[in-house]
Amino acid sequence: GDSVTQMEGPVTLSEEAFLTINCTYTATGYPSLFWYVQYPGEGLQLLLKATKADDKGSNKGFEATYRKETTSFHLEKGSVQVSDSAVYFCALRSNFGNEKLTFGTGTRLTIIP
Amino acid sequence: NAGVTQTPKFQVLKTGQSMTLQCAQDMNHNSMYWYRQDPGMGLRLIYYSASEGTTDKGEVPNGYNVSRLNKREFSLRLESAAPSQTSVYFCASSELSSNNSPLHFGNGTRLTVT
């Protein structure tokens, strides 16, 4: 079945550092890939998405590229801010009529000033 | 812009009690979902409704029932709560059931079963 494996946390970085959170997936066919962010006490919010191979999703300075050859969708940001502290979830949604959005276990990111 | 609204935000139950978690969306979305979030396990799908009038089981449906009351509302019922159902519950909706349609989440219900 479909699965998502993402970098375990927690991750602690200094402000303005470069961020990478790794995500790899297993799926049949051509899934769509997503990154969601969860701030304390809130639900998940869509951060970015990519729907086909080589697509790059971007939002708020974050980027991720859909790499079919390595089955990866790593999240990157060039210069993190304290306000980026949150839990980040990688997810996929199959294109075989499957309603299910499959999530990774989440990576907690803390940015220190 | 209410989006997806869940009630209550917090609930404490004793083992064996029942309750219903309410969810409503105002985005005219067709599909709705219930997930539970547990530490170290990400989010797991309990039930979903692809469209008004239909419901289907997800990964972890045991101990739960759902009702798609109309296009806006999708409720989750625990008939006899167990400590294993202590979790944070999220309702979500999406415009379409196609794979590139993202989910929009509510702020969650934190449930403790003692």
Residue written as token pair 């993190």 = A80
pLDDT at A2: 86
Q: What CA–CA distance (Å, rounded) separates B111 from B87?
A: 6
State percent of chain B over pLDDT 90: 81
| Residue A45 CA: distances (Å) to CA of A98, A102, B12, B105 | 21, 15, 26, 7
* Of the partner residues A32, A43, A99, the one whose CB lies closest to the CB of residue B105: A43
pLDDT at A109: 96
Query: Residue A28's pLDDT is what?
Result: 81
User: Residues B108, B51: contact at Cβ < 8 Å?
Assistant: no
Q: What pLDDT is stored for residue B97 in this prediction?
A: 63
pLDDT band at residue B95 using 50, 70 and 90 as cut-offs: confident
* The predicted structure's pLDDT at residue B100: 72
CA–CA distance, A53 with A102 (Å, rounded to integer): 18
Q: Which residues of B are less than 8 Å from A99 in CB distance? A: 31, 33, 48, 50, 56, 97
User: B22, B5, B19, B32: which is closest to B79 by C-alpha?
Assistant: B19
CA closest to B32 among chain A residues: A99
Report chain B's mean pLDDT, rounded to a whole number.
92
Question: Which residue in the set B44, B59, B90 is minimally distant from A43, CB to CB?
Answer: B90
Neighbours of B54 (CB within 10 A): 10
CA–CA gap between residue B20 and residue A69 (Å, rounded):
45
Q: Please give the structure tokens belonging to residue A73.
A: 């969708």
Determine the pLDDT at residue A97: 57
Inter-residue contact B48 to B31 (CB < 8 Å)? yes
The residue-averaged pLDDT of B51-73 equals 94
Q: Is the pLDDT of residue B9 over 70?
A: yes
Do residues A112 and A16 touch, judged by C-beta distance below 8 A? no
pLDDT for the residue numbered A11: 95
Residues of chain A with pLDDT under 70: 96-99
Considering only CB atoms, which chain B residues are within 8 Å of A95?
Answer: 99
* Residue A18: HSE in the Cβ half-sphere, 13 Å Cα cutoff: 3
Question: What pLDDT is attached to residue A94?
Answer: 80
pLDDT score recorded for residue A8: 82
